[in-house]
Amino acid sequence: MSGHSKWSTIKHKKAKTDAQRGKVFSKIIKEITVAARMGGGDETANPALRTAVASAKAVNMPSANIERAIKKGTGELEGVSYDQICYEGYGPGGSALMIDALTDNKNRTVAEIRHLLSKNNGNLGENGCVAWIFEKKGVITVKAEKISEDELFELVLEAGADDMQNEDDFYEIVTQPTAFEQVKNALAEKQIECESAELTMHPKNTVNVNEKEAEQLLRLMDALEDHEDVTHVYSNFDIDTEILKKLDQD
């Protein structure tokens, strides 16, 4: 059992307003469009598209929106061309940051990302400066109330998961990308609902941060994820549970 809370579980506790949902729709539509452009419109043969469509369904995006985004990606409908960019940098407390973005204007996006970082005690780094800290993994979260820790651990381990941690009210299951679908299917067969399931950049090591740094980091992560061009933000910070509870009360 972990005494720390990471961003991957912290963000799933946040309430979503209608305005936030609109931004989420916009970002996922970009992801679907780019995935279809890169790998075709067939979900069964395009893992990136399959993941993006699953994300869309998880937030109840209408099927018509999904189909339209796919057709824009395949060229069946006219659409904007987006570039995929990964920015690397540092946040408060020496934490590492990887920021994925889809943009139709690289100059605008990099300027805005740099501004958000500097405003929140962070800075943009060179390509490769923190990428070595992360590795691609599947991360699945399940509400702790759904199943006992021992039962879930046995199930996911048998299905091919690498690790599982108890993050307060959630279990965080980590898999190799090749075992991701297999573990998801094992959970589905047992009718265990996933709060989230995504292929992500998982840190090999973490950095503990103090209360002040934690407050700055959460503000920075929110600001970055709120940016219209940013699709994912990854970091390696750890916030002690007691610090997180104190910040929640403030």
* Domain assignment present for 5: no
Q: Looking at the structure, do residues 176 and 210 belong to the same domain, yes or no?
A: no
Of the listed ranges 169-173, 175-179, 188-192, the least confidently predicted one is 169-173
Instruction: Compute the residue count for the chain.
Output: 250
Asked if 162 and 174 touch (Cβ cutoff 8 Å), the reply is: yes
The pLDDT value recorded for residue 11 is: 65
Domains in the chain, number: 3
Domain CATH number, residue 44: 1.10.10.200
Asked if the model's pLDDT at residue 41 lies above 70, the reply is yes
CB atoms within 10 A of CB 33: 25
Tell me, yes or no, whether 39 lies in a domain: yes
Q: In terms of domains, do 168 and 139 share one?
A: yes
**Domain range enclosing 91:** 83-132+206-249
Residue 6 lies in a domain: no
Task: Tell whether 4 is covered by a domain.
Answer: no
Answer yes or no: is 231 within a domain: yes
What CATH number is given to the structural domain containing 226? 3.30.70.980
Phi/psi at 144 (nearest 5 deg)? Answer: -60, -25
Pick the residue with more confidence: 46 or 80? 46
Residue 16 has pLDDT above 50, yes or no: no
Q: Which of 54, 74, 94 is the last residue of a domain?
A: 74
Residues 142 and 170: their CA atoms lie apart, in Å, by 6
One domain for residues 217 and 161: no
Find the DSSP H helices in the chain: 7-10, 18-39, 47-58, 63-74, 106-119, 149-159, 180-189, 211-226, 241-249
Q: Are residues 65 and 182 in the same domain?
A: no
CA distance 218 to 247: 10
| Same domain assignment for residues 119 and 150 | no
Task: Write the DSSP string, 65-108.
Answer: HHHHHHHHHHTSS-----EEEEEEEE-GGG-EEEEEEEES-HHH
For 130-144, the pLDDT digits (tens) are: 999 999 999 998 988
Across the chain, mean pLDDT equals 88
* 194 found inside a domain: yes
Q: Is the same domain home to 38 and 100?
A: no
194 plus 215 within the same structural domain: no
- Global pTM reads 0.81
Residue 195 sits in the same domain as residue 171: yes
Inform me whether the pLDDT recorded for 18 exceeds 70: no
Judge whether 24 lies within some domain.
Answer: yes
Whether residue 145 sits in one domain with residue 109: no
Q: Which amino acid is at 20?
A: Q
Would residue 185 count as lying in a domain? yes
pLDDT at residue 13 in the model = 53
> Do residue 141 and residue 197 come from a single domain?
yes
pLDDT per position as a tens digit, 84-131? 999 999 999 999 999 999 999 999 999 999 999 999 999 999 999 999
Are 102 and 161 contained in the same domain?
A: no
Query: Do residues 171 and 190 both lie within one domain?
Result: yes
